[in-house]
Structure 1
Amino acid sequence: MRIAWGASVLLVASVHLGAGWQGVLPRLVFAGAVLVAFACLPLVRWAKVSALVLLGFALVGAYAVARTDEAAPASVLLDLVPRLLTAARPAPATPTLLVPGVLLVFLVALAVAVARSSFAPALGAAVLYTATALLTAGRADPHGVVALALVLLVALGWLVVDRIEAGRRLPLGRPAAVLGVLGAVTLSATVLPSAGAFEPRELVRPPVSDMAVTSPLPRLAFWAGIGDTELLRVRGPERPLRLVALADYTGATWRAASLYGPIGAVADPDLPPGARVSESTIEVTVGALGGTWLPAVGRPSAVSLDGAAVDTDSGSLVLPGELTPGLRYDVTGSTDTPDDADLLTATVPTGPAARRYVTLPGLPFSLAEYARKAVAGASTPYEKAVALEQVVRLDRKPDVEAPVGSSYARLETFLFGTTESGANAGTAEQFASAFAVLARSVGLPTRVVVGFQPVPEGPDGVRVIRGSDATAWPEVYFDRWGWVPFDPVSGTGSGPSPASKREVLDRLASIPPSPTTPPSAPPPLAQPAAPVALPPAPPAGGPPFVLLAVPLVPVLLLLALRTGHRVRLRRAGVAGAWSYVLDSLLLAGRTPRRDRAAPDIAHDIAGFAPSAVPLAAMADRSAFGPSAVVEPDAWRLAVEVRAGLRRVVPWYRRLFWSVDPRPLRRHHNRVTR
C-alpha cells in the first residue's frame, strides 16, 4: 500500500515535470523512469550496495546517451544541466536533453522507494515540482492546480496508509497536520510574489558560437537552375519560410551574422518584435536543400532539433553540420503582422540599435541621389518604402540568367545600365538588394531575407518547395510594428496589401514614378557611414560552483554530526570507548545480539582486533565495579579495534563509513549491547 501510494505521488510529479520539454514523449519517459525505479526495489535489500550499483548504471547510461567523441565522461555528465538550461523553452525532446530529467526522476523515485517513510513521497514530489517550476519559469502550473493535487494526494496517504497497514485508529494529530499543510500552501500561493522569480538560466552563460557560415544569397541562381528539384517539404500553415536574414552590407556583398546561440537563452534582439504577431508551427522535411541553414517561420521560438543555434537579431537558424535528405523537425516561430492602418503613420528608429540597418560603406552618389529623387513627395517612412518598391520594379524584369552579385557596381548596372549584361534585369538578389540599399540611403532600416514564399498545399496537406520557389525579399523595420516585408519583384508578396500600396501611389501620382537616368557628373562617393560593429563573443563559462556544491551539503552535515558524536564518546571514558567499538561493529555489519556480554563480543573479533579483549575487560570493570575506573588507554584500544574492523570489511562499507547515519540512532545506555 505504501509503495503504491509513493509511486502514485511521484507519477503525478514526473508527468508535471514533462512540461519543461516539447510534446508528450517526455511525460511518458519520466513516468516510465518512476516505474523502473520502484521495480528495482527488490534489488535494494543491501541498501548501500544496490543503490550504489543502480546509481552507477544510471550514470553510465546517461553518459552513453549524451556522450560526444571529444569530451571526457565527467565533462559530459557535468554539462547535462547547463545544456538543458541553455536550450529552448520548452526544450526539444531529444535524448541528450531528456537525460537530466530522467536521471532526476529515477534518483528521486529510487530514494523514495528505499526510504519507505511517510514523508519521503512528499519530499520527492516537492523536489520534482520545484525543478519543474525552475525549468519553466512557473508557467507549467500558473494556477497551482498540480500543486494542490499533489498536496491532496500526499494528505490522503498520510491519513489512510498507516491506518490500513497497522490496523489502528487514526491519530488525531494527522488531520491537524494535513490541514496545516493545506493552509500553508494556500497562504504561500496568496502572499508569495508572482513577479521577479528566481531564474536558474541566469546562472549559466549560454554557449555563443562563432560560426563561419556563408550567405545563401548567391545560391538563388543555382536553385533557379534546378527549378524542378524538390528542396524540402512543409506541413502546416501557409507562411513564408526564411533561411537567413542578412543585415550587414559591406558595399560588395551581404554578410551573414557569425555569432549563434541556443534558442531562448541568448540576449534580446537589438530591434524588438512588433506589437502584433502571429505564431505558427510547421513540420519540415529536408530534401536536396543542402547547406547548414534551417528553414524556419518568422522568429523561431522552439525547434525539435538538438544543437540548432539562432542569431537573435535576425532569427536565422543554423545547424552545426550539413543538412541531410530526410531530416525532419518541427519549428515554431512568430511573424510581425501589423495592419495597413498601423503602417500609414509609423515611424522608424534612429538610435544606435538601428545604425547597423542603415549602414552603407562608401555609398556612390548616383545611388544616393536616385533614392532621394524616388521618394520626393513622400511624407512618411511607409510612403517612402512603397515608392522605392515601385521604382525598383518599374521597367525592370526578372531574369534567372542575369549576372549574380549585389555590389554597388552590380546594382548600378541593374538600375542604370543600357546595353551591358544585367542592365535592367536581375534575379531576386538584385531586386531585394537594390531596394534595401536605396531605402537605407533615405534612412529606412532594412535587411534582405533569403527564403521561400508560400506554395499551394497538395492533396495530402504537404507543400512541396522546389528550386524555382527560392527567392529573396527586403524588409523594413517600423517602430512598434517590427519587420515588414516588401516585394520589389511583383509587388504582391506577403506584407502590406496591394490596395494599401495603391492608395499611397495614387497620392504620389504627381511625382515621376522613377528617375530614368543617373544624375549627371556625380561625385565618386557619398560620405562613408560608420562601420558595422559586431558584438564580441562572451567568454566561455561552465556550470556555477554553487550548483555543484548542493549535493555535498547533506554529506558535509552527516560528517559533522558523526565527528561531534565521536568527540562525545571520547569524553565518556571507558563506556564511551566501548560504545565506539559497538558503533564500528554496526558499520561493519557485525552487530552483536543484545544479550551478549562485552568479553564474549571481544572474543569473537579477537582474531583481527586483539585490542578488543583488554578493552572489554575495562568496560566490565567500569560498568560493574564498586567505583568508576579511569583507563587512559581505553580510547587508544577502541581506535585500534576500529582499524582492525575496517581492514576486513568490503570496500563498499568503507566507502560510507564516515557518513553512515546509523550510529547516530543507536542507543548507548548499555555497554554490553
Structure 2
Amino acid sequence: MGRDPPVVTLAPAPPGTDRPDTPETPTGGGRLARAAAVPLVLLTMTALAGVVLGRVYADPLLTWLMAGAAAGSVLVSVATRRLPSWLVAPLSVAGLAGWTLLSLRLAAAHAALPGGLAEVAADAAGNAIPRLLTAMIPVEPTPDTVLLPVVAAWLAGLTAAEVALRTGRVLLGYLPPALLYAGALYVVGPNADPAIGPTVAFAAVAAVGLAVPSHRDTPAGGDPVAGLPPAVRAAVRLRLAAASAAGVAVVVAVAALLAPVVAARVGDRPVDPRRYVEPPRVESLDENPLIRISGWALNPDQHLLDVRTEPGRTEPGGTRIRLAVLSDYDGVTWRVGATYRNAGRILPAAEPAPGATTDPVRQEITVAELTGRLLPAVPTPREVTGARVAYDPATGTLIRPEGLAPGLRYTVASVRERPDGNLLGTANVPAGDAVARVLRVPDGAPEQLRRLATQLAEENGAPYARAQAIEEFLAGHYRLTADAPSGHAYPNLAFFLFGPRNGGGQRGTSEQFAASFAVLGRLAGLPTRVVVGFRPRGDGPVRAADASAWPEVLFDGVGWVPFDPLPRPDEQPRPVEEDFRQTPDDPPPSEVPAPTAEPTATAPVADAGGDAGDGRGPGTPVLVGAGTGGGLLLVGALLLVLAGLRRNLTRARLERGDPAGRIAGAWRELTDALRLAGHPVGADLAAAEVADRAGRTLTEARAARTPPPAAPAPDGPASVPTADGPVSGPGALAWSPAAEQVTGRTGGHGQVGPEPSGPAVRELAGLLNQVAFAPGLATAEQADRAAALATDYAAALRAARPWWRRLLWTVHPGPLRWRR
C-alpha cells in the first residue's frame, strides 16, 4: 500500500523474429486520430441536439449557435486537459460568457430588435424559459429563445468532455449529451415530425466512440494487456470477456423488458410542454376594447398614432387598421378570447380564401397616446419589426406583452385580402363545431331582437342577402352620435334598437351599431364577430375620431367579409316602427327603456324631520312640545351644524382633489340633488340616462309650480318644434332632449331659464364618461365647468321646490350618510 506497482520490462525481440502477442506500434498520426475521436464524438452528439431543436425554429441560426457552443466547450476541455482541474471552470465560464453574448447579439440583429446588448441580455435572462415554451411555432431565433439552448449546449459539452477525457469514463460522459438530446425532443413535442434521422445518427456516433480504444488506457503497444506474462494476460482477457458478456446480457435483458413498452408508445402523440406554461395575459381593457369607443368619441382630437404607408400602397380614404377581433359574447360583453403566443418577426402565414386577391401593405406606425397592449396593424400581419409581439392566429390580433409606450415605432408588413364579390351572392356560411364560437347566442336575448332577426331572415333567404338586410336596416333607422352611453349588453342593445327617439333611444356610437349587427346576424344564422380599429383618412396622425367598430361575417370559400352598418351622412333615419312588425304581445317601444319616474305635482321626500304636507316648519311639533327656549336653541344649533357639514361636503367635492375627482364630486352633487327631490337614480343607469332623468325631473318640477298653457284651438293641436320634428297634441308637454333645448331658451311653460337644463346636464354626463373611459385627460377647466353645471342644476331644482322644502333641502342630513 502506497508503493508504485511493479514495472514489467519487455526485452526487445531479436531481429527476424516475430512476437505474436505484441501488435505493431501505431504511428503519431494514428495516436492523434485516436485521441481526437472521443472529443469529436462528444461534439457531434451535443450538436445533434441543436439539429433536433432547430426543427421548430424559423431558420437554422439556433442550430449553428448550439453547434458553436458544443465545439467551444469541448475544445476548452481538450486545451486545458494538462492543466489542474480547478482552472477548467473559470476558463470555461469565460468562454461561455463570450459565446453567449455573441449569440445574443447575432440573434438580436437577425430579428431586428432594438436596444443595446445589455438591455437585450437582461431581458433574455429574465424571460428565457417562459418565452421559449410559449413561443409560436415556428419559433423566431431571438435572444430570449436562443439563450437557454446555447447555455445548455455549452454546459453539456463541457461536462461530457471533462468526464470522458479527464477520467477516461467515456460511457458516463455520454450522459450530458443524451440528456440534452432528450430535452430537445421534449421541447419539440408534437410540433415536428419524428426525429428518426438525427436519432439514428446520435446512436451511431455514440457506438463509434465506444468502439475506439481510449488513448489513456492504451499505451505504446495498443493492446491493454501487452507486456504481461502469458498467464496474467489470459486471466485478464477472461475477465474482460466475462464482463463484456455480462454487459451484453444486461443490455439484452433491458431491451427485452423495455421493447414492448417503447413499441406501444411509438404511435402516441408526444406531450407538448407548452400546455403547462401560461401564455401572456392581457388586461380587461385589452380583452374588451369595444368599451373604449365611447371614450374616444368624447375626445375626438386625442392623438393616438402616426401612420406612414409605403409609397404606392395608399388607398383613397385611407387604409382600415385593426386593433382587435372580438369573437366571444356572453350577453353582457364582447371579448377577444385570444390565446397569445410569443412570436418572432415572421408570423405564421395562412392560405388566402379561394378567389381572393391579395395586396401587400407595409406601414410604419408610431404610438402616441394609445395605451394598453393591443398593437394596431392592417389585417393580416405577416411580419413585425421593431417590437416584440405575441400573436393569436385564430383572430389575427397582436399584442406587445410589455405594453405600449409613447414613441414606440414598429413596422408591419401585412397581406390585405379582397374577397371576390361575384361569389358573395351565392356563398353559404359554415356550420358545426369549427365555427360554434362565432355562432353562439347567449341565453337571455330579448324577444324583440329575436323577432327582428327572424323578420329580416324571412325576407332574405341567402346568407349574404340577410347580412345586407341587417346592414341596411341599421343604417336606415338609427343615428350616429358621439355622446351616446357606452354599453353593448342585451338591455343596451334593446334600448338602442327599440327605445323612443325622444328618450335617448335609436342612437348610438359605432359600438352599438357593430354589436347589434353581430347579435342580429347570429340570431339569423350568420357567423359574426366584431372588430375594433381605426379608419384614418390617410397617412399622418390617427386621432380618436378615427376609432370605429365594424362587424364581419364568415362565408364559405370567401372568408371574413366586413360590413358597414353606420348611417349615411346625407340620409335622415326612418322610425323603426315603420319597418319592424310589432306583435300584439310586444310592448310599445316607449316602454322598453329603463323605467322612469312618473310626473307628480309634489315629490315625496324621505325625511323624518317633520310633516311634509302641513305647510309648517319641520321642527314645529318639537318646539311646541318642548315649550322652552333651550329646545329652540338646541334645534337651531343642530340645523346650523347640519348646514355647515353640508357646505363643507359640497366644497370638498367641487374644490379639492384632482380634476377627475372634482368631476366625480360634481356628479355626486347632481345625484344627491335628485335624491333630495324625491327622484333617486339606480346604480344600473348609465350617465346619459341619469342626465335624461335629471332633465325630466327639473321640467316636471317647474311644470308643477306653473299653470298649464292654454288649451289648443279646436282646429288644430298644439305643437312644439323639435329637432326630430313637431311634437303635437297632449304629448307636446312631454319631455324630450330636443324639446328641453327649446323650452330652456324660450322660457317654456311660462318660465325663462338662464340656461337649457337638458344639454347642460348631458354635458356633465359627458365629462363623467370622459373620466371613466379616458382617465388622466381631465383638465382643471373641465372640473370648474362640471362644478358650475352641478351647482346651477341643484340650485334650479331647489328653486322649483316649495319654500319649506327649500329650507329642508339645505339641512337634510341625507347626503352626509348616503353611500357615495
Contact 1:243 1:449 in 2 (8 A): yes
Contact 2:363 2:411 in 1 (8 A): yes
> Residues of 2 paired with 1:334 and 1:104: CA distance?
41
- Secondary structure of the corresponding residue to residue 359 of structure 1: coil
The verdict on how the C-alpha distance between 1:160 and 1:422 changes in structure 2, with shifts beyond 3 A counting, is farther
Match of 2:185 in 1: 133
- Render the CA deviation track for 1:529-565: whole Å, top value 9, x for unaligned: xxxxxxxxxxxxxxxxxxxxxxxxxxxxxxxxxxxxx
- Render the CA deviation track for 1:66-87: whole Å, top value 9, x for unaligned: xxxxxxxxxx999965663344
Query: Which residue of the other structure, out of 468, 475, 478, is the alignment partner of 2:552?
Result: 475
Q: How far did 1:487 drift?
A: 0.9
- Render the CA deviation track for 1:288-317: whole Å, top value 9, x for unaligned: 262221346779999899996677985644
> Residues of 1 paired with 2:403 and 2:334: CA distance?
20
Q: How far did 1:452 drift?
A: 5.3
- Tell whether 2:442 aligns with 1:359: yes
Match of 2:85 in 1: 47
Match of 1:245 in 2: 325
> Residues of 2 paired with 1:389 and 1:331: CA distance?
31
The verdict on how the C-alpha distance between 1:4 and 1:169 changes in structure 2, with shifts beyond 3 A counting, is same
Match of 1:216 in 2: 289
Query: Which residue of the other structure, out of 366, 384, 389, is the alignment partner of 1:287?
Result: 366
Match of 2:530 in 1: 448
- Tell whether 2:137 aligns with 1:89: yes
Q: How far did 1:110 drift?
A: 0.7
- Render the CA deviation track for 1:403-426: whole Å, top value 9, x for unaligned: 474547876787679977999886
- Tell whether 2:560 aligns with 1:484: yes
- 1:420-439 to structure 2, matched below 5 A, reads 428-439=510-521
> Residues of 1 paired with 2:219 and 2:547: CA distance?
74
The structure where helix makes up a greater share of residues is 2
- Render the CA deviation track for 1:570-626: whole Å, top value 9, x for unaligned: xxxxxxxxxxxxxxxxxxxxxxxxxxxxxxxxxxxxxxxxxxxxxxxxxxxxxxxxx
Match of 2:50 in 1: 14
Task: Structure 2 unaligned segments of length 5 or more: list them.
Answer: 1-35, 105-123, 225-240, 242-247, 344-349, 568-573, 594-820
> Residues of 2 paired with 1:92 and 1:432: CA distance?
36
- Tell whether 2:206 aligns with 1:206: no
> Residues of 2 paired with 1:167 and 1:19: CA distance?
45
- Secondary structure of the corresponding residue to residue 552 of structure 2: strand
Letter in 1 for 2:147: V
Contact 1:477 1:483 in 2 (8 A): yes
Contact 1:90 1:302 in 2 (8 A): no
Match of 2:117 in 1: none
Q: Which stretch of structure 1 is more off in the superposition, 348-357 or 83-92?
A: 348-357
- Render the CA deviation track for 1:352-387: whole Å, top value 9, x for unaligned: 95598312756372x444333222233455543343
Letter in 2 for 1:438: L
Q: How far did 1:47 drift?
A: 3.5
Contact 1:17 1:132 in 2 (8 A): yes
Give the number of equivalent residue pairs. Answer: 464
Match of 1:256 in 2: 335
The verdict on how the C-alpha distance between 1:39 and 1:232 changes in structure 2, with shifts beyond 3 A counting, is farther
- 1:24-423 to structure 2, matched below 5 A, reads 24-41=60-77, 42-43=79-80, 45-47=83-85, 50-51=88-89, 81=129, 84-114=132-162, 115-116=164-165, 126-137=178-189, 140=192, 142=194, 144-147=196-199, 195-201=267-273, 204-206=276-278, 209=281, 211-214=283-286, 215-217=288-290, 218-219=292-293, 221=297, 225=301, 229-231=305-307, 242-247=322-327, 254-256=333-335, 262=341, 286-288=365-367, 290-291=370-371, 292-295=373-376, 316-324=397-405, 325-328=407-410, 340=423, 344-346=427-429, 348-349=431-432, 354=437, 357-359=440-442, 361=444, 363=446, 365=448, 367-379=449-461, 381=463, 383-394=465-476, 403=484, 405=486, 407=488
Letter in 2 for 1:230: D
> Residues of 1 paired with 2:185 and 2:381: CA distance?
23
Contact 2:498 2:592 in 1 (8 A): no
Q: How far did 1:155 drift?
A: 6.7
Contact 1:389 1:486 in 2 (8 A): no
Q: Which stretch of structure 1 is more off in the superposition, 303-312 or 130-139?
A: 303-312
> Residues of 2 paired with 1:422 and 1:23: CA distance?
58
Q: How far did 1:21 drift?
A: 4.0
The verdict on how the C-alpha distance between 1:85 and 1:378 changes in structure 2, with shifts beyond 3 A counting, is same
Contact 1:302 1:333 in 2 (8 A): no
Contact 2:160 2:176 in 1 (8 A): yes
> Residues of 2 paired with 1:469 and 1:342: CA distance?
31
Query: Which of the pair has more CA radius of gyration?
Result: 2
- Secondary structure of the corresponding residue to residue 385 of structure 1: helix
Contact 2:533 2:547 in 1 (8 A): yes
TM-score, length of structure 1 as denominator length:
0.50
- Render the CA deviation track for 1:448-492: whole Å, top value 9, x for unaligned: 111358999xxxxxx9894587543223467x889733312499x
Q: How far did 1:109 drift?
A: 1.2
Task: Structure 1 unaligned segments of length 5 or more: list them.
Answer: 66-75, 265-272, 457-462, 492-511, 527-673
- Render the CA deviation track for 1:172-201: whole Å, top value 9, x for unaligned: x9xxx9xx9xxx9xx99x978764233141
Match of 1:671 in 2: none
* Larger relative contact order, structure 1 or 2 (CA cutoff 8 Å, min sep 6): 1
Match of 1:72 in 2: none
Match of 1:601 in 2: none
Q: How far did 1:108 drift?
A: 1.0
> Residues of 2 paired with 1:80 and 1:229: CA distance?
31
- Secondary structure of the corresponding residue to residue 475 of structure 1: strand
Letter in 2 for 1:7: L
> Residues of 2 paired with 1:151 and 1:195: CA distance?
21
The verdict on how the C-alpha distance between 1:32 and 1:466 changes in structure 2, with shifts beyond 3 A counting, is farther
Q: How far did 1:104 drift?
A: 1.4
Letter in 1 for 2:563: D
TM-score, length of structure 2 as denominator length:
0.43
> Residues of 2 paired with 1:488 and 1:311: CA distance?
25
Q: Which stretch of structure 1 is more off in the superposition, 201-210 or 338-347?
A: 338-347
- Secondary structure of the corresponding residue to residue 484 of structure 1: strand
